[in-house]
Structure 1
């Protein structure tokens, strides 16, 4: 599987290298092709299980990672974060205006790749993209409000983080298996929400060397962080994460082969990262 992930990285590098940004700022290629590739890995594993050829799954995984990278570029501008993926944030590297344009470019590169791969998925992605933006907007509203319930927090992160995991999980499913696609989409929402809870704790507890990004960069958003909201609501983050991961597993039990691949992915790529963030809380 690692060799196929490298194919995704190579495709990302090639597409971003072919943009005007790369000639002046070659670091942007490393940024776009970097990261943990969690969403791409999910696409590739499910695609293989569902009989999708690599000619389909590799471009699809690249499109998902481009959307993720674009959202990070814009998030770093909003949050004033100075480090991402071990590199200066794109707005520090090329200036705020150019970083906005670079993030936009990444979005449109993703759409182009997806259109080449399977144009029918553009409708699904556009819906998920709207949900990501809705989640970010709700987060900004809650920053202004200053008081967030756990239910408010879950709604925000389900949209802003869960939506792309949902797309990564649902998009490899053939169109004639809508029941499975729907359950994988819902499982992806749960997985992404669990991952964001852990990431909020990592932002507080992890240093730059561990995370590759600015530590404590979400101070502006502290009131809508799992760290603050869970403590205020007297909730155990471990239990909340566990419930979300279990919800995803239950949804996929009617499809044993998919369930097995999902379980292996969660154990290998997700649970260990979550554990290091919330194990002692």
Structure 2
């Protein structure tokens, strides 16, 4: 029986092999002190997308393709953080200086670009070509949602539906990808899991939006208030935003669990994933809200 630790360790090992390859290629003609800073900053985060892949996987043994899909997803997640922190002017991430504060905004942007390319290369090395096609589609959805939020949405036109649409696109895409990747050869099951991933990702983004306004920066370990500073609308900015977001998070998670009615084992695993990986963090980070 495949254990979560084995899957997580294999995914981190895959990511580290990519980091090492990048570091070695940069070592030849680069400032060694900056390379050292990179290695210090490239430790993986909570690996929530990888943990979701494990929770929704029916495989009894380790799948190299799924490991590559999970690792590539985490690489993209890291790349988007590098870019977002430059755009937002954020100083702190994971209780450390952000990448751009350590190596400059240009370096952080270029490193993010390199991570994007490396992630695509990694997925294309999988034996199942469906993983690469789905990955490319999800990357396009992610970038489209980020651009839409930047240029097309304001407080006067936004609604709960539009906020969910953006949250699905910005954050849900990577959760959706790893979820569907667990059953990539079963179209019907993969479609169900994809929607589960979108819902969980949207719920996670709603929580993150609330943290940006209500959270404790010292406790959370990252720069907050960037959405308001840049006039980017989120539901959290509404007068009753906290109530709305808590209601929507509950609705999205409940819907995700209900979708797995036909897959009892996966339904149980998803409940446990939410309980173990999401609820403790949400309660911890919002406990000062009241």
TM-score, scaled to structure 1: 0.89
Superposed CA RMSD: 2.3
Q: Say whether the 8 Å CA contact 2:260–2:267 is kept in structure 1.
A: yes
Q: CA deviation at 1:106?
A: 0.5
1:211 and 1:159, CA in 2 relative to 1: closer, same or farther beyond 3 A?
same
Does 2:17 align with 1:8? no
Where has structure 1 moved over 4 Å in runs of 4 or more? 20-23, 277-281
Q: 1:239 aligns with which of 240, 244, 247?
A: 247
Q: Say whether the 8 Å CA contact 1:84–1:213 is kept in structure 2.
A: yes
TM-score, scaled to structure 2: 0.86
Q: Output aligned runs, 1:182-197, within 5 Å.
A: 182-197=191-206
Q: Say whether the 8 Å CA contact 2:167–2:205 is kept in structure 1.
A: yes
Q: CA deviation at 1:32?
A: 3.3
Q: Output aligned runs, 1:216-235, within 5 Å.
A: 216-221=225-230, 223-229=232-238, 231=240, 235=243
Give the structure 2 partner of residue 84 of structure 1.
Answer: 93
Superposed CA offset, 1:178-199 (max 9, x none): 1110011111111111111111
Distance 2:275 2:64 in 1: 27
Q: 2:266 aligns with which of 244, 258, 263?
A: 258
Superposed CA offset, 1:156-203 (max 9, x none): 11111111111111111141x211100111111111111111111222
Distance 1:273 1:251 in 2: 24
Q: Say whether the 8 Å CA contact 1:40–1:61 is kept in structure 2.
A: yes
Q: Say whether the 8 Å CA contact 1:77–1:96 is kept in structure 2.
A: yes
Q: Output aligned runs, 1:112-191, within 5 Å.
A: 112-117=121-126, 118-142=128-152, 145-147=154-156, 148-175=158-185, 177-191=186-200
Distance 1:251 1:179 in 2: 12
Q: Say whether the 8 Å CA contact 2:131–2:181 is kept in structure 1.
A: yes
Q: Where in structure 2 are there 5+ consecutive unaligned residues?
A: none
Q: Where in structure 1 are there 5+ consecutive unaligned residues?
A: none
Distance 2:8 2:36 in 1: 21
